[in-house]
Every structure is written in structure tokens, then in C-alpha cells.
Amino acid sequence: MVVWLKTENGEAVRLTDRWSPSLFVGSNSASDFAVPVHTLRDEFLWTRVVRKRETVTNYGWSDVLEAKLTDARNAQRVAERIERLGPFGTFRIYNVDVPPDQGYLYENDLFPLAFCNVMSDGGRLRWTIEDDVWAYDYAIPTLRTARLDVQVAKKGRLPKPTDQIESFTLEYDGESVAIVGQSETDKLFRLAEVVHEADPDVILTNDGDTFLFPYLIRRTEANSVRLSLDRDGAPLTLPSKPGTSYFSYGQVRYKPTATKLRGRVHIDVDASFTYSEGGFDALFELSRVCRMPLHTSSRASIGKALSSLQFYHALKADLLVPWKPTLAERFKDRNELMTADRGGLIFEQRVGAYEGVGELDFSALYPNIMYRKNISAETVRCSCCPDSDNRVPELGWNTCRQEGLVPRSIRIIVEKRLHYKEIKEKVVDDSLRDHYDARQAALKWLGVTTFGYLGFNNAKFGRIDAHIAVCAWDRKVITDAARVAEASGFVVVHGIVDSLWLWKEGAEKGDYLGLKAKLEAKTGFAMSFEGIYKWVAFLPSKSEPGLPALNRYFGAFEDGRLKVRGIEARRHDTPPAFVVCQKAILDILAEAGTVAEAKARVPECIEVFLRYAGALERHEIPASELTFSTNLSKAPEEYATATVQHAAVKQLVDEGADLHAGERIHYVIMDYLGRGSKRVTPLDMIENQSRYDSDRYVRLLAETCSSVLEPFDPGCAAEGLMARYEARRSRALTS
């Protein structure tokens, strides 16, 4: 195992530890262990029988075979070979897909950026940790950061691996260095020299995994150049595995294979949710808490990060990580299933605009339920505590008295985030406040994922019964809160899972804070008072206008803050110009103190729409500000229906783009009613910024603006706004 350290004087040091990971094999008969030991002896450094816990639901111990791998890269192949050595189920295999670098951190109780001392002893490293993963004000070593970009001498409309390099740009130490040369070879050698001189610890790229590094590697191959940008002198090579498309929360996603640099951290900003949302503060916090190397955590889904945290706690409890999870849902008859198979509780709101509504939210309710009610795969309906007083509401299921793996894992998420939020409210320095806010945000994303992961079919330590138990507790908590609120004279205007919108005539901040204390006392869970809305509008469903949309609303608090959910300004696929227009309208409405005042501001808002519509008609808004974006739901060759998305995909493929299901594409509508692929133009292929289908964009802008105007004026539906636009257009033509 190669470990890179930053010393106190800023030097990067490379250390080697004679360590390799183990996989574990279980069987109903210890005599079966002789088969893999003999058959695969060349794959193992050594083997021994040890005592471990095989399943999270069984606190008993088993004799299992520990096999120290000769080569960590062969773990999957070795596991497959062991599986085929006997009838199905003969061998149970564990810890196969625990990444070796993470396993090393778990085993040594290390975490990235930890302050520590290390000694070499006979080829092994001995670690002394002088840091704490629970620390709130930890020191981070000074990391030199550079940003790398490449300019391609395109021969077509899109850059291709066969196109030559025009130049490189490397930004570091506040300077930007342009790397040019007489030939590609000169440029490549000069790039290596500049990177070596700058010696960055972190290299940031945009699309580094999907384009920049694969393109760079292809150009080194074309020029027969050996190029190294890392600290180990290893040449850049294409990853051995392709990227993967996967399904997550109703959408297809694509994850490109990461390009890693030895001794440096390569962060592809476009592939890093954590870095793009919270910068280095969020990334460092996530890496430390979940014990994942920076290059891994920068690209990992939040679910992967949570799995790492659970793997660490499993290892500390001598619990093995199953290669193929086998925990099944417990049997339920149809009556029990009718009660159990429900989600969180929602109080359906009435569509319309309201005044004086207050909002109270439970703070991280689901993670807190799991933590405080001890909800985990092995604790719900455990066999050891049938008389436990901790019962799941409505279902009566017992919950174990022993702390479960999931509550043990998320304790740091819940408690550390709460402390960061408390610190954030006390500091007066804005930069320091942002620093703590980014850290708590990283923990918030982890907390949100903990619930979904309980019911995820591929989760190593998940079980649907635990997922059901959390939902049952949520329904009890929100119901109890609503009853207390109603008994105190408040009306429940809307409620969704962990939030309540309440109204009481003449209620002021003190009344809501008093109610908050009552609700916390009744439920046992902390709440936050978000504020009192001057006005708030709850919107109908777009597909079923007669029904309310449960999470589409916007409103202005008494202090002037706006809160918007589910509307175009919050969506990632909305054209940037539409977002700006809708926010301009919302800012005007936010100045209103009542619903009546908001209605009086509608004519001013209509003028904003007409101004933007006119700019579209005159093609004054650049096409790059009108891009729609979407994730490909399938591979390009599987598209058959002639949609605008298909038209964009076809053009990209025809130009040589290598697209995969789950990748995000951006396009501009050119001729919505036209035929073939020319209906749209992909963003990367736009040559004329003033060319687009202005009629279609005006219609779509009207729909966007109607979302925030129609609640105050029924005449401001999309058709009404279009009628106003056409009337003004006609007057302009006749004058």
C-alpha cells in the first residue's frame, strides 16, 4: 500500500506499507475451507481461521477463513473462483468489494487529512493518530491547487480524439500559464514540465474524466509520447474499465471511470457533487467522516460515502461485509402489509395563496428517528428482545435494546451536524460561517441518504422492515404534532413528512415559538421555526391541475426571504434566462406585504414577462442562455421516438460524440415544429448565438411565468400571458 503524506513543512512524502487486504470465506463445515486454500494457494499470501460475525442480524460468532490476497486487484476474480468451487451456497464470501485503500484506512483507524505520526518497522508502517474525526476545528495542511484546461484545434463542430492540441492552460498561485509549442510533442513535454514545477497537490479539471484526460492520453499515443503528471512518474494510461450507467431515484445516471494521479488528487469538478456544492470544506468533511480518499470521495455518490462509514463500523465490530447481500424482508400477511407499506404522512393542502402562515420543520427528522429509536436492519423485530419497550408505532414491532449498526454509524452525522449549525449561528465572520455551513451541508446530504439506503436492495446492511419502521415513526411524530397544533388553536394548512405549515389568526413569532416548545415536548424531536410568511402560494399539479402538487410552492417571509420549491427557478433543466426572468418576478412579489398587495404587483410582473418575451422575439438573448438540459434515459441507439432530445442525441452521435445512458446533454430549440435532427442544436455545436425558435421560447417563457403569477391572477395562465404578448406585438406592428 502506497501512502502519501504532507509534512508540517509542506513536503509531499511517499511511504510504502507491506499490507494487502483479506477476503473472508464462510461455510457450514470448516472442512470445506481446505478446498479454496489448496485450489487457490497462489492467490493467497497466507490463510487462517478466525472468529467473526457473518450477518448483521446474528450476534453469534462463526469460524471463517481469512485469506490474505497476493494482489488486491484480483479480489473479484478470486471470489468468483471460490464461488464455483462447490454447489451454490457452499461458500459465503465477504469483504470482496471493500476498496483496498478504504480497508487500509479502516484497519489502521486512519482518515484522510488526519494529523498523525508514522514510523516504519520492518516494512510495515506504525501509525499514531493525533487527530480526532469528531473534531470541529481541525487543521488542514496547505494544499497547492492547480486548474488544468486544454484547447483543441477542432476540425469539426465537436472536439475529437483525432484533433490536435492547440494549447494548455494551467492556473496556479494566482497565475495562468499558457502552454504552446511548435508541435504537439513540444506542448506535451512542456505541460509535464510546468506541472512538475508547480507541483500541485490537487489538480482541478472540468470534464477531466469524460474528455480532458482521455483526449490527452489519445494524443500521447498518437505522438508516441510517454507523459506523466503524477508524483510517481507513472505514464498516463486509459482506465481499464469503462464508465457505468445506473438507476438512482427514478433517473438514469452515468459515472465515468476516474482518472487518478498518484501522489496528487485529481478532482473533476463536473463529476463531483460534493465539491461543486460545498467546495473543499464539504469534500474534506465528507472524506474524514466517511474515511474515503479524496479522489474517491470527490466522485462518490452520497450512498457510497455512507456505505464506507458503515463498513468502518462493521469492521470495528468484527462484522463481515457480505459480497452479495441476502437479507430478506420478513413475511407479512396482507393486513400487516396494508398497515406497513406506507410512506411518510402528508396533509394535502388547498391550492391558492395564503397570508400569515408559519412554518415549523423537524430538524433532520429521519436520521434522528433512526439514531434515537435505534432503527437498523438487525434491530427491528430482533429475536433477542421480544419484550422491548421500544415498539414501532401502528405495527407494534419490537426494537432491539442493543445499538444497531446504522444508529452507531450515523451518530457522528447527526451530532456533528447539529454542533456545526450551532457554531455557525454564533460566529460573526462571514467566511468562517460559510466554512461551517459547507461542512454541515456535507453531513446533511449524508443524513438524507441514510433513510433511502435502509430500503435499497443492494445496500449491504439494509432491510425494508427498517425502512418501514422509520416511516411509521414519522407518521406518528407528524400526527402528534398536528394534533397538538390544532388543540392550540392552529389550522394545519399543509404538512409533508417533516414540515408543517400552520395558521392562526393574529399569531405572531412568540406564539409559534411557544407552539414549537409544545411540539418538541410531545414528540421528543427538535424543530426549527422557519418564520411567518407574508404570503405563500401552493400550486396545482401540472399533470392534474385539479389536484395540489405536494411540493410545489413559493412564498415570502416577513423578513423578506423567499422560499421556492418545485418551480422552474429551482429546477436544473430550466434555461438560465428563464430562471433570471422568474426570479425577477418573484423579487417584485416579495416586496408585497399581503396577498392583496401581491395581486396589485401583477401588472408590474407582466411587464417583466413582456420585456423578456420581446428580447426573445428580437433574438437579443444569446442561445447559450436558453439551453435545456436532460439526462439520457437510455443508450443513443435505443431512442426511437422523434423527440427534441432524440434530435440532440442524433446530432451529437453523428459528430462522433461517445454518449452513454445517464449522461447529461444540453441543447437549444431551433425549429420546434420542424422535422429531423435540425429541430435543436446541442450547446457545444452552436455557432450563431442569435439563432433559435423564438416563438417556441416565448410560449415556454409564458408557462414559466404563469407558475408564479396565476395564483394571484387567474388571467395570468400561460394562454393569458400569450394573449397579452400578442396584443402588444400587434400594436407594435401597426404603429
Residue 138 lies in a domain: no
Percentage helix, strand, coil for the chain under 3-state DSSP, each rounded to 5: 40, 20, 35
| Distance separating alpha carbons of residues 15 and 3, to the nearest angstrom | 5
DSSP string, 53-100: B--TT----EEEEEEEES-GGGHHHHHHHHHTTSSTTS-EEESTTS-H
Instruction: Name 201's Cβ contacts closer than 8 Å, sequence gap at least 6.
Output: 6, 12, 143, 144, 145, 264, 265
Residues 529-551, mean pLDDT to the nearest whole number? 91
- Determine the angle formed by the axes of helices 302-316 and 273-290, rounding to 10 degrees: 0
Residue 735 confidence (pLDDT): 60
Q: Do 635 and 710 have their domain in common?
A: yes
- Do 78 and 23 meet the contact criterion of CB atoms below 8 Å apart? yes
Contacts of 406 by beta carbon, 8 Å cutoff, 6+ apart: 310, 370, 375, 376, 377, 450, 454, 461, 466
Q: Cα–Cα distance between 91 and 39 in angstroms, integer?
A: 14
**Would you state the cell numbers that stand for residue 665, as one nine-digit string?**
446533454
Name the residue range of residue 11's domain.
2-129
390 and 284 co-located in one domain:
no
Share of the chain above pLDDT 70, in %: 99
Q: Where does the pLDDT of residue 721 fall: very low under 50, low under 70, confident under 90, or very high at 90 and above?
A: very high
Per-residue cell: 253: 445516471
- Joined together, the cell numbers standing for residue 667 give 441543447
Q: 430-454 and 365-372 are packed helices; what angle lies between their axes, rounded to 10 degrees? A: 60
CA atoms lying within 13 Å on the CB side of residue 487? 10
Which pLDDT value is given to residue 366?
95
Domain's final residue, options 513, 543, 566:
566
Look up the pTM and report it: 0.91
Q: Which residues face 51 on adjacent strands?
A: 63
Shared domain for 687 and 652, answered yes or no, is yes
As a whole number of angstroms, the distance between CA 377 and CA 454 comes to 7
Above 80 in pLDDT, residue 139? yes
The neighbour count for residue 139, using CB atoms within 10 Å, is: 10
Pair (394, 536) in one structural domain = yes
| pLDDT for 70 beyond 80 | yes
Average pLDDT of span 385-410: 96
Both 536 and 620 in a single domain?
no
Look at residue 324 and tell me if it is in a domain.
no
The DSSP code for 28 is S
Both 399 and 472 in a single domain?
yes
409 and 469, same domain (yes or no) = yes
Q: Is the pLDDT of residue 249 over 70?
A: no
Q: What is the CATH number of the domain that holds 33?
A: 3.30.342.10
Confidence (pLDDT) at 374: 97
581 domain residue, yes or no: no
CA distances to 286, 333, 724 from 306, in Å: 9, 32, 52
Percent of the chain residues past pLDDT 90, beyond the cut = 80
pLDDT of 641 reads: 82
Q: What is the pLDDT of residue 248?
A: 64
Q: Are 33 and 85 in contact (CB under 8 A)?
A: no
pLDDT at 240: 79
- Between 286 and 173, name the one with better pLDDT: 286
Q: What's the CA gap between 56 and 73, in Å, rounded?
A: 27
* 702/726 same-domain check: yes
Residues 554 and 424 in one domain: yes
Q: Is residue 701 part of a domain?
A: yes
Indicate whether 351 and 289 sit together in one domain. no
pLDDT digits (tens, 9 = 90+) for 453-506: 887 777 889 889 999 999 999 999 999 999 999 999 999 999 998 999 999 999
- Please count the structural domains in the chain: 4
Mean pLDDT computed over 600-609: 97
Is the distance from CB of 185 to CB of 223 less than 8 angstroms?
Answer: yes
Q: What pLDDT is attached to residue 729?
A: 86
What does the mean pLDDT of the chain come to? 93
Please indicate, yes or no, if residue 314 is contained in any of the structural domains.
no
User: In which residue are the cell numbers 459528430 written?
Assistant: 655
Instruction: Kindly tell me if the per-residue pLDDT of 210 is higher than 80.
Output: yes
- Residue 677: the pLDDT is 79
What angle is formed at CA 395 by the lines to CA 517 and CA 349, rounded to 5 degrees? 50
Query: So what's the pLDDT on residue 262?
Result: 94
Distance CA 701, CA 690 (A): 17
Contact 547, 540 (CB under 8 A): yes
Look up the CATH number of the domain holding residue 529.
3.90.1600.10
Q: Is 90 exceeded by the pLDDT of residue 153? A: yes
What is the model's pLDDT at position 181?
80
- Mark whether 266 and 355 lie in a shared domain: no
In a domain, 328, yes or no: no
Side chain identity, residue 699: R
Asked whether residue 576 is domain-assigned, the answer is no
358 and 247 part of one domain: no
Strand partners, 537: 353, 554
> Per-residue pLDDT for 23 more than 90?
yes
Question: Taking 90 as the threshold, does the pLDDT of residue 245 lie above it?
Answer: no
